[in-house]
Structure formats: C-alpha cells, structure tokens
Amino acid sequence: MISDRVFEQKDIQRRSFRDIWQTVDNPAEFLGYRIEVRLKKDETGGFVSYVAQLRGAVSEGEDAESAMRNAIEAFQACIETYAQEQMQIPWSEPEPLQEDEDAFVVTVK
C-alpha cells in the first residue's frame, strides 16, 4: 500500500557514506571483504586452500567445498585477531594463479 504522506525535506535525514562509515566500529563488517580463495588438490586427495590477499589465511579440507569454507573461516579468524590486537591487516598483492589452482572470488562479512 502506498502512503499518501508527503515527506518534507526536514523529515529526511541525509547521511553521507562517510558519516555511516564513522559510526561503524569495523567498517569492513558493514561492507564486507572481497577476497580470492584459491584451491589446490594435495597429494593425499584433499584440498589446500588459502586467501590470495592474506598469506596467513590457509586451510585444508577433504573436498573442495569444505576447503573453501575452512579458508573463509581462517580469513575471518585472522581479521578478528588483527582487529582485537589493533594491528594493521598485512594485505598482499596476489601472486599469479598457478596451473594447478582454481580461484573463487567471494565477499565475506
């Protein structure tokens, strides 16, 4: 149902992106992180996974889906640790994709 109410300018609170950004404790939680998760089959038949932009976020799994999920959880744990310790996140430029790797871009909140 459409309201018949006419809004006046004073009724509308305008907030800039910067105002919203400053009210969020951790802006990335508000916006999310766009990361590249890379998967590689290991010699045991499972998968090794890591986040290309954050070298410390490494994991593994019995199958590709669990390895990817584990890499995302490792990433979230790293980010949480950096935030708690008030440390700068050591982002890195992703290295070129290897022939035996697959890459998936995901947004993580």
First to last CA, the chain: 34
pLDDT at 12 over 60: no
| Distance (Å) of CA 37 to CA 22, 61, 82, 107 | 29, 13, 19, 10
- Per domain, the residue ranges of the chain are 35-108
pLDDT at 17 over 80: no
Per-residue pLDDT at 29: 55
Question: Average pLDDT, whole number, for the chain?
Answer: 79
Asked if CATH classification 3.40.50.1970 holds for the domain at 35-108, the reply, yes or no, is: no
CA atoms of 73 and 57, how far apart (whole Å): 8
pLDDT at 19 over 80: no
- The least confident of 16-25, 31-40, 56-65, 74-83 is 16-25
